């Protein structure tokens, strides 16, 4: 799939939103990518994830791990296509961790996946959780990299779609705050 086809999927599903948004990172933006709008369609999910699978096809992967909530479906479909188990991490006491009896064997080769990143904070926490269990992160697969390709994880990273979306510190640095437009938070961080 080329970038035009990928963007068409995101646009026709309503995943590209315009407004004043508070991102998981704490930054503000006038553009939000709501991957859940795309992931509700198994056909599109399979097509997009195939790009991640193709990128890491030559890599020996034992396990796929993604952060809840956005990375759960991406991890599941990536694991399905690779023929390996898929797990997800969750926040417990403010820390990303494996729960529900999930475990990683020492030395397991893990592909970490996520729906969308700006600063990559959640992915970095997942990588740490994998390493804490003795796993080895072999790469990171993303549906959307909003950083314009700038975010780094210390391992190979492949994104289905890379966008350079402007972000702002909240307050006077944010033109939308200066206009008095209230920021909305459509993401999943902080769900109880």
Query: Which domains are seen in the chain, by residue range?
Result: 41-165 (3.40.50.2020)
Q: Which residue has the tokens 């003795």?
A: 134
pLDDT at 3 over 50: yes
CA distance 141 to 113: 5
pLDDT at 130 over 90: yes
CA distance 126 to 137: 10
User: Mean pLDDT for the chain?
Assistant: 94
> What is the average per-residue pLDDT within 127-156?
96
Give yes or no for a contact between 108 and 135, defined as CB atoms under 8 angstroms apart: yes
pLDDT at 123 over 70: yes
Look at the alpha carbons of 142, 144, 147, 148 in this order and tell me if their dihedral is positive or negative: positive
CB-based contacts of 140, cutoff 8 Å, min separation 6 = 111, 112, 113, 114, 123, 127, 153, 155, 156, 157, 158
DSSP H helices, the chain, are 3-12, 36-39, 42-55, 70-82, 121-132, 175-178
* pLDDT tens digits for range 39-74: 999 999 999 999 999 999 889 999 999 999 989 999
């Amino acid at each position: 799939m080329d970038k035009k086809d990928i963007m068409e999927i995101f646009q026709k599903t309503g995943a590209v939103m315009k407004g004043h948004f508070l991102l998981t990172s704490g930054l503000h933006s006038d553009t939000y990518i709501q991957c859940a709008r795309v992931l509700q369609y198994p056909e599109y999910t399979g097509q997009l994830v195939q790009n991640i699978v193709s990128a890491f096809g030559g890599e020996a992967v034992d396990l796929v791990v993604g952060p809840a909530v956005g990375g759960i479906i991406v991890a599941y479909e990536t694991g399905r296509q690779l023929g390996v188990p898929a797990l997800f991490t969750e926040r417990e006491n403010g820390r990303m961790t494996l729960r529900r009896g999930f475990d990683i064997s020492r030395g397991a080769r893990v592909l970490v996946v996520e729906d969308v990143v700006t600063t990559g904070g959640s992915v970095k926490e997942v990588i740490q959780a994998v390493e804490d269990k003795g796993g080895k992160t072999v790469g990171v697969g993303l549906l959307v990299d909003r950083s314009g390709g700038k975010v780094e994880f210390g391992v190979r990273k492949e994104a289905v779609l890379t966008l350079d979306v402007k972000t702002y510190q909240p307050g006077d640095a944010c033109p939308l705050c200066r206009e008095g437009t209230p920021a909305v938070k459509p993401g999943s961080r902080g769900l109880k």
